[in-house]
Amino acid sequence: MPTFHPVTNPSGRTAADIVIDNLPSVALAEVALLPNERAIYFVRDTNQEVLYIGKADSLRSRWIKHHRASQLSLYEDVRIYWLAIPEPIASVLGPWETYYIGVFNPVLNGTKVVPPSQSSMRVYTTIASPLVQDMINNYVASGRAASKSDAIAQMLLELHDLRGKYDALLDRMVIQSLQPA
């Protein structure tokens, strides 16, 4: 595989020159406002941490049912920034995505996608975000998770496991209540 050298786009800038803060953006909850254009996108949270980087031939279509949306919703004030890529240089999508992933080392790129579960999302939406951030930080500090994204994945798996145990307990209680005394 050839080594990637930043490609100059028609405006004369290279991939290394892009400042995420200067790019257009929308909140995660407003993906319907994304344009239908080819782009490299950057997802950041309230702390300006780059959570995920990707590429899309159609930005809006990509985000309507993005595989990371549920994981990203666990972070506070998530925004999607994008760099539009004009047709003549569409072939640079892959190399630029790889380049930016190497530069920013996003926490979710390269990690397992945790499928959303209704129970875990319902639990999350009923508790305060600072509490969730404290829990995530405690998972990392205690060594139960190597990173914030691993902590979120571990918490979601534990919630899913607890939901299964809760459902099994309810089933036993219903069966016992139906048995004659």
pLDDT in tens, 112-162: 887 665 434 444 444 446 677 788 888 889 988 888 777 887 888 887 778
In this prediction, residue 181 carries a pLDDT of: 65
pLDDT in tens, 12-63: 555 556 789 999 999 998 888 999 999 999 999 988 999 999 999 899 999 9
Buried b (16+ CB within 10 A) or exposed e, 150-172: bbbbbbbeebeeebeeeeeeeee
Here the contacts of 1-6 (C-beta below 8 Å, separation 24 or greater) are: 4/95, 4/98, 4/99, 6/99
DSSP 49: -
Residue 4 vs residue 12, higher pLDDT: 12
Give me the residues paired with residue 26 across strands.
80
Sign of CA dihedral 121, 124, 129, 134: negative
In this prediction, residue 139 carries a pLDDT of: 86
Q: Quick one: which H or E segment has residue 64? A: helix 59-64
Level-2 CATH architecture, domain 15-104: 3-Layer(aba) Sandwich (3.40)
Task: Provide mean pLDDT across the span 166-180.
Answer: 77
pLDDT in tens, 82-123: 998 887 666 778 888 888 898 889 989 988 887 665 434 444
